[in-house]
């Protein structure tokens, strides 16, 4: 869409964060968590998922943190949070 960069899609009480790298996704998750807390809301880590889209055969590892939760790969299609 030209010069427009979309990194967040919102629908009802759901959000999709889009980032080209693990570091940028972590920054978006951290920012969203902080903004939610300011408004008296919280992100549900148990319902939070990360999905990596790629063209290469080699799997990209993506580890995103939310408080004491981190990503672990559930299957070939995505990653889910697990408690540490």
Domain positions in the chain:
8-83
Token representation of residue 15: 């959000």
Would you state the pLDDT for residue 71?
A: 59
Say what the pLDDT of residue 13 is.
Answer: 85
The confidence score (pLDDT) of residue 34 equals: 92
CB–CB of 68/84 below 8 Å? Answer: yes
Tell me the pLDDT tens digit for each residue of 5-48.
Answer: 888 888 888 888 888 888 898 899 899 989 999 999 988 887 88
Q: Confidence class of residue 72 from pLDDT cuts 50, 70 and 90?
A: low
Distance separating alpha carbons of residues 78 and 53, to the nearest angstrom: 9
Whether 77 contacts 71, CB under 8 Å: no
Q: Strand locations in 1-84, DSSP E?
A: 8-11, 14-17, 49-50, 65-66, 69-75, 78-83
What are 40's two structure tokens? 């008296």
- State the pTM of this model: 0.73
């Amino acid at each position: 869409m030209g010069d427009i960069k979309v990194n967040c899609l919102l629908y009802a009480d759901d959000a999709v964060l889009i980032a080209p790298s693990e570091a940028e996704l972590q920054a978006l998750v951290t920012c969203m968590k902080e903004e939610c807390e300011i408004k008296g809301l919280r992100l549900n880590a148990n319902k939070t998922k990360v999905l990596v889209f790629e063209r290469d055969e080699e799997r990209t590892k993506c580890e995103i943190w939310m408080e004491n939760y981190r990503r672990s790969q559930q299957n070939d299609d995505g990653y889910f949070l697990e408690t540490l």
